[in-house]
Protein backbone atom coordinates (compact mmCIF):
# COMPACT_ATOMS: atom_id res chain seq x y z
CA UNK A 1 0.00 0.00 0.00
CA UNK A 2 1.40 3.40 -0.98
CA UNK A 3 1.96 6.22 1.51
CA UNK A 4 -0.94 8.11 -0.07
CA UNK A 5 -3.25 5.10 0.28
CA UNK A 6 -2.19 4.57 3.89
CA UNK A 7 -2.81 8.25 4.69
CA UNK A 8 -6.26 8.10 3.09
CA UNK A 9 -7.14 4.91 4.97
CA UNK A 10 -5.99 6.42 8.26
CA UNK A 11 -8.05 9.56 7.62
CA UNK A 12 -11.06 7.46 6.62
CA UNK A 13 -10.91 5.26 9.72
CA UNK A 14 -10.64 8.30 12.00
CA UNK A 15 -13.28 10.36 10.17
CA UNK A 16 -16.10 11.50 12.49
CA UNK A 17 -18.71 11.23 9.73
CA UNK A 18 -17.57 7.73 8.76
CA UNK A 19 -17.99 6.66 12.38
CA UNK A 20 -21.43 8.30 12.58
CA UNK A 21 -22.53 6.62 9.34
CA UNK A 22 -21.47 3.23 10.65
CA UNK A 23 -23.21 3.85 13.98
CA UNK A 24 -26.49 4.98 12.40
CA UNK A 25 -26.65 2.47 9.55
CA UNK A 26 -25.95 4.83 6.65
CA UNK A 27 -24.03 3.38 3.73
CA UNK A 28 -21.58 6.27 3.45
CA UNK A 29 -20.59 9.53 5.11
CA UNK A 30 -22.30 11.38 2.22
CA UNK A 31 -25.58 10.99 4.12
CA UNK A 32 -24.49 13.82 6.40
CA UNK A 33 -24.00 16.21 3.49
CA UNK A 34 -27.64 15.84 2.48
CA UNK A 35 -28.88 15.90 6.08
CA UNK A 36 -27.02 19.16 6.71
CA UNK A 37 -28.31 20.82 3.52
CA UNK A 38 -31.87 19.64 4.25
CA UNK A 39 -31.77 20.97 7.80
CA UNK A 40 -30.74 24.36 6.45
CA UNK A 41 -32.93 24.54 3.34
CA UNK A 42 -35.92 22.35 4.26
CA UNK A 43 -35.98 20.35 1.02
CA UNK A 44 -37.58 17.13 2.26
CA UNK A 45 -41.05 16.63 3.71
CA UNK A 46 -43.51 13.75 4.16
CA UNK A 47 -45.38 12.73 1.02
CA UNK A 48 -42.92 14.15 -1.50
CA UNK A 49 -41.86 12.54 -4.77
CA UNK A 50 -38.05 12.54 -5.02
CA UNK A 51 -35.61 11.22 -7.64
CA UNK A 52 -32.01 10.48 -6.63
CA UNK A 53 -29.70 10.39 -9.66
CA UNK A 54 -26.46 8.50 -9.10
CA UNK A 55 -27.85 6.86 -5.97
CA UNK A 56 -25.14 4.25 -5.23
CA UNK A 57 -24.27 3.18 -2.60
CA UNK A 58 -27.59 4.55 -1.37
CA UNK A 59 -26.94 6.80 1.62
CA UNK A 60 -28.79 9.78 0.11
CA UNK A 61 -31.69 7.50 -0.80
CA UNK A 62 -31.75 6.27 2.81
CA UNK A 63 -32.02 9.83 4.13
CA UNK A 64 -34.70 10.75 1.60
CA UNK A 65 -36.83 7.64 2.25
CA UNK A 66 -36.68 8.31 5.98
CA UNK A 67 -37.88 11.89 5.57
CA UNK A 68 -40.62 11.52 2.94
CA UNK A 69 -42.10 8.50 4.72
CA UNK A 70 -44.56 5.89 3.52
CA UNK A 71 -46.74 8.51 1.83
CA UNK A 72 -43.84 9.65 -0.35
CA UNK A 73 -42.24 8.17 -3.45
CA UNK A 74 -38.47 7.72 -3.76
CA UNK A 75 -36.75 6.58 -6.94
CA UNK A 76 -33.00 5.94 -6.96
CA UNK A 77 -31.15 5.48 -10.26
CA UNK A 78 -27.57 4.34 -10.78
CA UNK A 79 -25.31 2.44 -13.16
CA UNK A 80 -24.14 0.40 -10.17
CA UNK A 81 -26.38 -2.01 -8.26
CA UNK A 82 -27.78 -0.63 -5.00
CA UNK A 83 -28.83 -2.99 -2.23
CA UNK A 84 -32.56 -2.70 -1.42
CA UNK A 85 -33.67 0.29 0.67
CA UNK A 86 -36.99 0.27 2.51
CA UNK A 87 -39.36 2.82 1.01
CA UNK A 88 -37.40 3.32 -2.23
CA UNK A 89 -37.66 1.96 -5.76
CA UNK A 90 -34.20 1.39 -7.26
CA UNK A 91 -33.55 1.36 -10.99
CA UNK A 92 -30.31 -0.05 -12.41
CA UNK A 93 -29.02 1.76 -15.48
CA UNK A 94 -27.94 5.02 -17.06
CA UNK A 95 -30.64 7.69 -16.71
CA UNK A 96 -29.47 9.14 -20.04
CA UNK A 97 -30.75 6.04 -21.88
CA UNK A 98 -34.32 5.92 -23.14
CA UNK A 99 -35.03 2.49 -21.67
CA UNK A 100 -33.98 3.66 -18.20
CA UNK A 101 -35.91 6.93 -18.51
CA UNK A 102 -38.95 4.85 -19.44
CA UNK A 103 -38.46 2.86 -16.21
CA UNK A 104 -38.32 6.10 -14.20
CA UNK A 105 -41.45 7.41 -15.88
CA UNK A 106 -43.24 4.10 -15.24
CA UNK A 107 -42.28 4.36 -11.55
CA UNK A 108 -43.54 7.96 -11.41
CA UNK A 109 -46.88 6.86 -12.88
CA UNK A 110 -47.68 10.36 -14.10
CA UNK A 111 -46.69 12.16 -10.89
CA UNK A 112 -44.48 15.22 -11.12
CA UNK A 113 -41.39 15.36 -8.94
CA UNK A 114 -40.93 17.65 -5.92
CA UNK A 115 -37.15 17.30 -5.73
CA UNK A 116 -34.34 15.94 -7.88
CA UNK A 117 -30.98 15.34 -6.23
CA UNK A 118 -27.70 14.37 -7.87
CA UNK A 119 -24.53 13.44 -6.03
CA UNK A 120 -22.99 12.07 -9.23
CA UNK A 121 -19.33 12.34 -10.11
CA UNK A 122 -17.55 10.82 -13.11
CA UNK A 123 -14.94 8.11 -12.84
CA UNK A 124 -11.81 10.22 -12.45
CA UNK A 125 -9.03 10.01 -14.99
CA UNK A 126 -6.60 12.20 -13.06
CA UNK A 127 -6.62 14.77 -15.88
CA UNK A 128 -8.31 17.69 -14.14
CA UNK A 129 -9.61 19.47 -17.24
CA UNK A 130 -11.18 16.28 -18.62
CA UNK A 131 -12.64 15.31 -15.25
CA UNK A 132 -14.14 18.79 -14.81
CA UNK A 133 -15.71 18.68 -18.27
CA UNK A 134 -17.22 15.25 -17.62
CA UNK A 135 -18.54 16.36 -14.23
CA UNK A 136 -20.22 19.42 -15.72
CA UNK A 137 -21.74 17.29 -18.45
CA UNK A 138 -23.36 15.11 -15.79
CA UNK A 139 -24.66 18.25 -14.07
CA UNK A 140 -26.15 19.51 -17.33
CA UNK A 141 -27.86 16.17 -17.94
CA UNK A 142 -29.26 16.17 -14.40
CA UNK A 143 -30.57 19.71 -14.96
CA UNK A 144 -32.20 18.65 -18.22
CA UNK A 145 -33.87 15.73 -16.43
CA UNK A 146 -35.05 18.06 -13.66
CA UNK A 147 -36.56 20.61 -16.03
CA UNK A 148 -38.56 17.83 -17.67
CA UNK A 149 -39.79 16.02 -14.55
CA UNK A 150 -40.02 18.58 -11.73
CA UNK A 151 -43.34 20.16 -10.95
CA UNK A 152 -43.59 23.95 -11.17
CA UNK A 153 -41.89 25.29 -8.05
CA UNK A 154 -39.87 22.08 -7.59
CA UNK A 155 -36.28 21.99 -6.37
CA UNK A 156 -32.95 20.65 -7.66
CA UNK A 157 -29.79 19.86 -5.70
CA UNK A 158 -26.65 18.93 -7.62
CA UNK A 159 -23.01 18.27 -6.77
CA UNK A 160 -20.58 20.29 -8.87
CA UNK A 161 -16.84 20.90 -8.74
CA UNK A 162 -15.43 24.41 -8.78
CA UNK A 163 -13.34 25.01 -11.86
CA UNK A 164 -13.76 25.73 -15.56
CA UNK A 165 -17.43 26.04 -16.50
CA UNK A 166 -18.72 26.22 -12.92
CA UNK A 167 -19.83 29.86 -13.16
CA UNK A 168 -21.51 29.28 -16.51
CA UNK A 169 -23.47 26.31 -15.13
CA UNK A 170 -24.49 28.33 -12.08
CA UNK A 171 -25.69 31.10 -14.38
CA UNK A 172 -27.69 28.55 -16.39
CA UNK A 173 -29.45 27.42 -13.22
CA UNK A 174 -30.65 30.99 -12.67
CA UNK A 175 -32.58 30.73 -15.96
CA UNK A 176 -34.62 27.82 -14.61
CA UNK A 177 -35.07 28.49 -10.88
CA UNK A 178 -36.28 31.46 -8.85
CA UNK A 179 -33.31 31.25 -6.48
CA UNK A 180 -29.91 29.57 -6.75
CA UNK A 181 -27.59 29.14 -3.79
CA UNK A 182 -24.33 27.29 -3.18
CA UNK A 183 -23.72 25.00 -0.24
CA UNK A 184 -20.50 23.51 1.14
CA UNK A 185 -21.56 21.13 3.93
CA UNK A 186 -19.25 20.60 6.88
CA UNK A 187 -19.26 16.91 5.96
CA UNK A 188 -17.47 17.75 2.68
CA UNK A 189 -13.79 17.07 3.06
CA UNK A 190 -11.90 20.34 3.43
CA UNK A 191 -9.52 19.69 0.53
CA UNK A 192 -12.38 18.83 -1.86
CA UNK A 193 -13.45 21.43 -4.40
CA UNK A 194 -16.96 19.99 -4.51
CA UNK A 195 -19.80 22.46 -4.16
CA UNK A 196 -23.52 21.77 -4.06
CA UNK A 197 -25.79 24.06 -6.05
CA UNK A 198 -29.41 24.36 -5.04
CA UNK A 199 -32.07 25.63 -7.41
CA UNK A 200 -35.35 26.37 -5.65
CA UNK A 201 -38.64 27.08 -7.37
CA UNK A 202 -38.62 25.73 -10.94
CA UNK A 203 -39.86 28.44 -13.26
CA UNK A 204 -42.65 27.52 -15.65
CA UNK A 205 -41.21 28.16 -19.15
CA UNK A 206 -44.65 29.43 -20.20
CA UNK A 207 -44.41 32.30 -17.72
The residues assigned a catalytic role are: 159
Q: How far is CA 109 from CA 36, 93, 116, 141, 197, in A?
A: 30, 19, 16, 22, 28
- For residue 101, how many other CB atoms are within 10 A of its CB? 18
Instruction: Yes or no: say if 199 and 179 are a contact pair by the CB < 8 Å rule.
Output: yes
Q: What's the DSSP call for residue 22?
A: H
Torsion-angle region of 76 (φ positive above 0: left; ψ -120 to 50: alpha; else: beta): beta
Amino acid sequence: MSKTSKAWMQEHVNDTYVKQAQAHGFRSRAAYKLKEIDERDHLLAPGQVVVDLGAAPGSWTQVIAGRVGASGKVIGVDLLPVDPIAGAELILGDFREDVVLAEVERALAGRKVDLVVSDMAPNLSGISSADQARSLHLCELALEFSCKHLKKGGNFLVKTFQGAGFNAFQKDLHKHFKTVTSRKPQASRGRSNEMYLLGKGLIDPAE
